[in-house]
Amino acid sequence: MTFNLRDRIWRSRRPTLRPLFLGLICAVLLSSCAAPVPPERRPINELPMYGGVEKTEAQKQADRQLIQNTLDYGVTLEEGAKLFIAKGWQFMDEGEPGQAMRRFNQAWLVDPENGASYWGMAAAVWDRDEIWDRDKAFVQAESLFLRAEALLPDNADLQVDFGRLYGHAKKPQEAAAHYRRALELDPEASDALRNLAVAHLDMGEVEQACRYAAQSAAGGNPLEDWFFKEVRTRGQRC
């Protein structure tokens, strides 16, 4: 039994899009595919960091133009990256991880030191590629989360999402470690307590699971009925 990520997928603190910047986003937006496409058949802008391939001169010119367009809209490259990331999360919320990856790549292109771009890529990789090769998707998403963590070591929300990856990959001990780290950074970290309850339930530690569930409920974030049904199937009650 594993907590379903799609119930509360990749929640983060996302900046608000500036209306002026929407024109730039629309100018670079391409249509997404209706059917799932395996990684080896995707364009490079739907692969993390453009797949690490050597770009053609035309592609390099397009990169330079994107950087210039960002500056022409009156924002710094750092600000532009944050806005691309915000648009990427909007696509994630809409179930469009391919389009999201394009925005996270653009954020990485204009500001490779923004850890949130790697964070978004990790979420998009797992959300999109798990159906093709679960193990490979996990390794790639984990690597991207580690890069994000190195740049954002004190971000509690990142720790929660990193923990979600481990939870969904059936690694509850690793998940719990990230949830605890999130609570160290921010005792009110979104979903950390409830997810910690699920991690302990997955580890068979029902008493601890119920304790964290009670703490989460006291903070206004109760577990759903399935959690308590699972506890009862194990002959116990919270």
Which residues, including other chains, have CB under 8 Å from residue 185's CB and lie 6 or more apart? 154, 155, 156, 159
Determine the Cα–Cα distance for residues 196 and 202; give it in Å rounded to an integer: 10
pTM, to two decimals: 0.83
- List Cα–Cα distances, 140 to 50, 130, 210, in angstroms: 14, 11, 33
- Predicted local distance difference test score (pLDDT) of residue 20: 38
> Does residue 15 sit in helix, strand or coil?
coil
Give the pLDDT band (50/70/90) at residue 35: low
Collapse the DSSP code of 76 into the 3-class scheme (helix H, G, I; strand E, B; otherwise coil) and give the result.
coil
- Percentage of the chain beyond pLDDT 70 is 82
* pLDDT band at 36; cut points 50, 70, 90: low
Res. 235: pLDDT tops 50: yes
Question: Six-digit token pair at 123?
Answer: 């979420």
pLDDT tens digits, one per residue of 116-143: 999 999 999 998 876 668 889 999 999 9
Rounded CA gap, 204 and 149, in Å? 28
Can you tell me whether residue 72 is helix, strand or coil?
helix
Mean residue pLDDT of the chain comes to 85
Q: Which two tokens stand for residue 186?
A: 């921010």
Q: Which domains does the chain have, with CATH numbers?
A: 1-133 (no CATH), 153-238 (1.25.40.10)
| pLDDT confidence bin for 32, thresholds 50/70/90 | very low
